[in-house]
Structure 1
Amino acid sequence: MPSRTSLRSLPLFACLVSFLACLTAHAENWPDWRGPNNAGISSEKNLPTTWSKDNNVAWRVELPGAAGATPVIWGDHIFLTSVDGEELVLICLDTSGKQLWKKAVGEGNKVVRGDEGNSASPSPVTDGKHVWCFFTTGDLACFDFDGKEIWKTNVQDRFGKFDIQFGLTSTPVLYDGKLYLQLIHSGGAKVIALNADTGAEAWQVKRESDAYAECEHSYASPMVYDDGKLRFLLTHGADYSIAYDLDNGKELWRVGGLHPPAGYDQTLRFVASPLAAPGLIVVPSAKRGILVAVKPDSKGNITDKAENYLWKFDTTPDVPSPLAVGDYVYLCRENGNLICLERKTGKQLYEERTHRDRHRASPVYGDDKIYLTSRDGQVTVVKPGPNFEILAENKLDEEISASPAISGGRIYLRTFQALWAIGPQ
């Protein structure tokens, strides 16, 4: 029979269990590389501001190989793609850092430009029941949460060989039972919709463009726009952003004119993905190119139609994707400079220097903080708003090109060596 002391402890213990269960139940999922709604925004609170290799780290787990793919999180499951020797693998961990399973999906890793990427650059995507993973080899697979293979295919075998200099790194986007891929390269650009449950083709369309040479290559990822009334697939590359009907692939609108006016640069391939926020599409370009904000309800070719533009800006982030928070749009340049624009007008409020190193990861927002991740492993935490303020500078001293993921009060950072869980134990 339990003692009186233990009986008195039962209500407290029950409250503690209930509290912890509530925390778990309300942990926001991060289902794809840009998080909920493809926006790079988390609604979670009490996220860490400061950390180091030895401070405010829940755990660190060594990975079998380097990659730039962002982890995705659903409940207590974490998924990420990696290389393991020549194998291309999907790894599942739980939120304690324990590996639950690892599945080989393909083989034949290719390292790009020494330290810029490899065949595990695309990120997984999940809906809470299944997880889908894609590799630059064209290997595409679906697994359940127990690691059982549901289906597997090779996109190159089905839709044509890739012809792209640094590998097709685009991450598929999942929406309403379909998996959408943009295959934009010199071998024949296509947009594909697959049945997510079976891998069967729902539709495919040829993606028309007048781009040539390296401009035919795209390293960006598609996005879905959905404001509750209007919804479409947004693809990006080969000199255009093009919107398609999600159900049948019909082209709705396109915007071009993204190259510098001085002349056509045949090396300007798109890397940064567009931002699809309610009432706003922010379209980046490449390097010396421009950035435009256009109206989501546009129709036809709007390249020369001023009435379809919200504003234009003369500088683009070359690799990190744009971020919109409240009344402001943020652009993180490759050199670490952060630009803040008014969302409605595009007026520049500031351009300020952060950490001077390559920035390949896209900025994310949570708990009234913007996180900028540099290639050498430093994360600069910036206060959002019209006035620039650095809140913290955190160093891990491990190379990072993956964007952060946020879930359960933690920030997950995938370095070339390991997966770090930053935050409470």
Structure 2
Amino acid sequence: MKFMLISALLSVGHLNATNWSNWRGEEGAGVAREASPPGKVSSSQLWKAPLPGRGCSTPVVWEDLIVVTCVIHGKDGVLAYDQKGKEVWRHAFGKAAGVRHENAGSGCNPSALTDGKHIYVYFKSGTLAAVTMEGKEVWKRNLHQEYSPDGLKWDLGTSPIFAGGNVVVALLHNENPSFLLAFDKLSGKEVWKTPRDYDAPAEAQDAYTTPFVTEIDGVETIVTWGCDHLSGHDAKTGEELWKHGDFNPQQKKNWRVIASAVETKGIAIVPFGRGDHVAGVKLGGRGDTTGKNRLWTHKGIGSDSSTPVAKDGKFYVLNDKGPNRGMVTCLDAQTGKKEWQSKFPRSAAIYYASPLIAGDKIYAGRSDGVLFCGTITPKGLTDVVESDLEDTMIASPVAVGSKLFVRTHESLWCFE
């Protein structure tokens, strides 16, 4: 079981099915087990709220609040809406960073993070900050000024996470030093700093991924993917426990990674090779586990930008570009066996958003604004429907209860 779920049980007494507190949800794997949102959203729109500026972050939901980050009058910003689509508050920080990817980028790509007491936000400018649930600033610091300048070729993508009772951020990029950093939730003070630099070619050191947290052999562990290595670090101290490499045997210079690793049943799926490979890695061990913990590797199945979904010993991988874009592959986590493959209707547009599983349905948002929904069966997807929102869609959809929240370039949508 993921450690974040255990932490949630201890802190609030039960898992709150009405919350989606971080980029990939309460399980950290893109799964909303108890949600029952609509399949065909074009006929179930509850409300649509305009956004003041560009942002590609996924909404987070805590009880009545829906929180997104976006540019507000040229500044890094965070906004909160209520469940009726009314803006409750907004807060702006310093000047927003410029954009390198005109379609899929913004200075507000990382998703917010909340524990119901504070909201934590991170921006391409390097600003990491905390605000109250009412939007009042608590603390702020700039990681690029204090630790390492932005060395990414494209726009920052990693979102903050909770680990060891702290806020943790992965700073993984080319040329400049890379770190895992932990900060006190209430004060923003550094708790620990761990260098994370491995030998890798230029740009292969760039990572736009978000770590996940899980319990391995009784230890709360931060699992991070980037710089041609999957690594495990002690969440309390930042100490490296193990590392796993051999994801770039030909030492290609441009194998940066965008899609994150996710885990089920103690096995991580690692997307690599610019969308053309995935590997299954057994988590745990000590030291270099490269030669013993690789369970399987596939070529021709993969995702470049879209992080797979992990659920109950299965991985669901969305091919997001190339000739097989729109293909969904269900893999057995232990063996790597292809359980089934189904394909959404083809288009010239590619996918940046990560898929979502809510109940027995899988949702996938394409960059041209088309949202697909299909019912998962043992033999593949059935009852596939598509809804066109007619606006660029980069952020991943979120399901809470009977509602589906979708963020496009210009609007925040709610369907029920």
Q: Common fold, TM-score beyond 0.5?
A: yes
Unaligned runs of 5+ in 1: 1-24
Name which of 44, 68, 77 aligns with 1:80.
Answer: 68
Name which of 392, 406, 411 aligns with 2:404.
Answer: 411
- Pick closer, same or farther for the CA change 1:405–1:228 going to 2, 3 Å: farther
**1:91 is paired with a residue of what secondary structure?**
strand
Could you tell me whether the CA contact under 8 Å between 2:21 and 2:61 is conserved in 1? yes
**2:204 is paired with a residue of what secondary structure?**
helix
Could you tell me whether the CA contact under 8 Å between 2:351 and 2:366 is conserved in 1? yes
Could you tell me whether the CA contact under 8 Å between 1:103 and 1:147 is conserved in 2? yes
Specify the alignment match of 1:389 in structure 2: 381
- Pick closer, same or farther for the CA change 1:390–1:255 going to 2, 3 Å: same
Equivalences for residues 51-130 of structure 1 within 5 A: 51-52=41-42, 55-130=43-118
Equivalences for residues 33-48 of structure 1 within 5 A: 33-48=23-38
- The structure whose residues are more often strand, as a share, is 2
Name which of 413, 421, 424 aligns with 2:414.
Answer: 421
Specify the alignment match of 1:310 in structure 2: 295
Letter in 2 for 1:321: T
Give the Å deviation of 1:26. 6.1
**2:280 is paired with a residue of what secondary structure?**
strand
Letter in 2 for 1:313: H
Equivalences for residues 327-338 of structure 1 within 5 A: 327-334=313-320, 335-338=325-328
**1:339 is paired with a residue of what secondary structure?**
strand
Letter in 2 for 1:336: G
Give the Å deviation of 1:176. 4.5
Specify the alignment match of 1:12 in structure 2: none
CA distance in 1, matches of 2:55, 2:285: 37
Name which of 215, 228, 240 aligns with 1:226.
Answer: 215
TM-score (structure 1 length as normaliser): 0.88
Specify the alignment match of 1:344 in structure 2: 334
Question: What is the root-mean-square deviation in Å for CA atoms of aligned residues?
Answer: 1.8
Q: Deviations over 1:158-199 (max 9, x none)?
A: 112121111322111113420111101121111111111111
Specify the alignment match of 1:244 in structure 2: 233
Residue 267 of structure 2 corresponds to residue 280 of structure 1: yes
CA distance in 2, matches of 1:64, 1:167: 20
Specify the alignment match of 2:4 in structure 1: none
- Pick closer, same or farther for the CA change 1:67–1:324 going to 2, 3 Å: same
Specify the alignment match of 1:323 in structure 2: 309
Name which of 191, 194, 197 aligns with 1:202.
Answer: 191
Aligned-pair identity (%): 31
TM-score (structure 2 length as normaliser): 0.90
CA distance in 2, matches of 1:326, 1:30: 19
Q: Which moved more, 1:121-130 or 1:225-234?
A: 225-234
CA distance in 2, matches of 1:146, 1:85: 20
Q: Which moved more, 1:43-52 or 1:410-419?
A: 43-52
**2:331 is paired with a residue of what secondary structure?**
strand
Give the Å deviation of 1:327. 4.2
**1:284 is paired with a residue of what secondary structure?**
strand
- Pick closer, same or farther for the CA change 1:194–1:61 going to 2, 3 Å: same
Give the Å deviation of 1:339. 1.2
Letter in 2 for 1:397: E
- Pick closer, same or farther for the CA change 1:64–1:341 going to 2, 3 Å: same
Larger Rg: 1
CA distance in 2, matches of 1:290, 1:27: 34
Give the Å deviation of 1:309. 2.7
CA distance in 2, matches of 1:28, 1:266: 43
CA distance in 2, matches of 1:386, 1:328: 11
Could you tell me whether the CA contact under 8 Å between 1:328 and 1:385 is conserved in 2? no
Could you tell me whether the CA contact under 8 Å between 1:27 and 1:409 is conserved in 2? no
Q: Which moved more, 1:55-64 or 1:158-167?
A: 158-167
Residue 128 of structure 2 corresponds to residue 140 of structure 1: yes
Name which of 358, 377, 380 aligns with 2:350.
Answer: 358
Give the Å deviation of 1:383. 2.1
CA distance in 2, matches of 1:340, 1:32: 24
Give the Å deviation of 1:289. 4.7
Could you tell me whether the CA contact under 8 Å between 2:200 and 2:251 is conserved in 1? no
Letter in 1 for 2:206: H
Q: Deviations over 1:245-291 (max 9, x none)?
A: 001111111111112x5x22201101000002332211111325532
Letter in 2 for 1:168: L
Give the Å deviation of 1:376. 1.2
CA distance in 1, matches of 2:377, 2:278: 20
Specify the alignment match of 2:11 in structure 1: none
- Pick closer, same or farther for the CA change 1:408–1:105 going to 2, 3 Å: farther
Specify the alignment match of 2:5 in structure 1: none
**1:344 is paired with a residue of what secondary structure?**
coil
Letter in 2 for 1:28: T
Give the Å deviation of 1:207. 0.7
Could you tell me whether the CA contact under 8 Å between 2:91 and 2:136 is conserved in 1? no
**2:27 is paired with a residue of what secondary structure?**
helix
Give the Å deviation of 1:76. 0.3
Aligned residues between the structures: 393
Unaligned runs of 5+ in 2: 1-14
**1:157 is paired with a residue of what secondary structure?**
helix
- Pick closer, same or farther for the CA change 1:188–1:45 going to 2, 3 Å: closer
